[in-house]
Amino acid sequence: MISLEELLGRCHVVAIAMRVPFRGVTTREVALIEGPSGWGEFGAFTEYHPAEAARWLAAALEAANGHWPAPVRSEVEVNATVPAVAADQVPEVLVRFPRCQTAKVKVAQAGQSLADDAERVAAVRDVLGPGGRIRVDANGAWDLDQARQALARLAVYDLDYAEQPCAEVADLARLRVALARAGVDVRVAADESIRRAEDPLRVARDEAADVVVVKVAPLGGVAAALRIVQECGLPAVVSSALDTSIGISAGVALAAALPELDGACGLGTVALMAGDVVPDSLVPRNGTLPVQRVRADPALLARYAAAPDRDRWWRQRVADCYAHLTGGG
């Protein structure tokens, strides 16, 4: 483990505006770390406490100082990501994901209704056509009854799966049974129940999911995420946590190392940001991303450098998380 002083000396904090708000985020701030192996990204959301955010720092340190598993594919298919925008904004969002045949649509946004969700999903179906795959992501916002009602309504748009429809693992398991009994053919995918859980394997033991959605940073790195997928034994999709191309490259490394993938991965979110720290951003071209390392550009680091107070805030957060990783917190 490198010293905290050395770590902070390699740290660059950036702030990049979002094209549209995403999970309430209008400006994405992350700390980027340069190391002998390349660049790593630490971008745990601000509400995460240091013990949880420390896993994100571990992933950044793995990228900067360690080694990723060997890939089994040279490119990764990616899905479009549609924030909780009005239905008439859907085409302008999807145009940023050329040739992507799968879209993940945010639903259950606070202040919006199921009718809003249905209109958004319908607009996505209109753009993708009958052959496209649609996934919805509720981020655990529905209770069991709301999830049953919502998915029964949204199923008419031929959903691939519903990501984290309920927050609790027990409710995910009950929902799978309820949907089957009602003849609603929608698979259940677990995201937060994997990445924010003390026991990420519980969803498999409790038969609470058909698919697992894994993210590198919240699970502590590519190697750790790969191990969790193998131990779960369920079909897997790799997703991102609203990263720059530095963070996306780690997600691509995981997706490239998995023996099997359950369709397109949620690694195209750089397209939702109004800037990036690498000149040739990792955005979908022909619906795929290449498997490669990327390097931050000094000029772009300077352009998107965070304000001094936010730079200090992130550096203190790095120090707090470092203390947890080294046993000092």
- Residues annotated as catalytic are 106, 215
Annotated binding-site residue? 191: yes
Q: Tell me, what DSSP letter sits at residue 132?
A: S
Between vectors from CA 105 to CA 132 and to CA 180, what angle results, nearest 5°? 75
Distance, CA of 48 to CA of 321 (rounded, Å): 11
Distance, CA of 53 to CA of 110 (rounded, Å): 25
Residues 28 and 43 sit within 8 Å (Cβ to Cβ):
yes
Distance, CA of 167 to CA of 285 (rounded, Å): 34
38's enclosing H/E stretch is strand 38-42
49 Cβ contact list (under 8 Å, min separation 6): none
Between vectors from CA 149 to CA 147 and to CA 150, what angle results, nearest 5°? 65
Distance, CA of 40 to CA of 49 (rounded, Å): 20
The backbone torsions φ and ψ at residue 148, rounded to the nearest 5 degrees and listed phi first, read -60, -45
Annotated binding-site residue? 137: yes
Distance, CA of 222 to CA of 233 (rounded, Å): 17
Annotated binding-site residue? 243: no
Distance, CA of 10 to CA of 199 (rounded, Å): 33
Annotated binding site for Mg(2+): 137, 163, 191
Q: Residues comprising the binding site?
A: 137, 163, 191
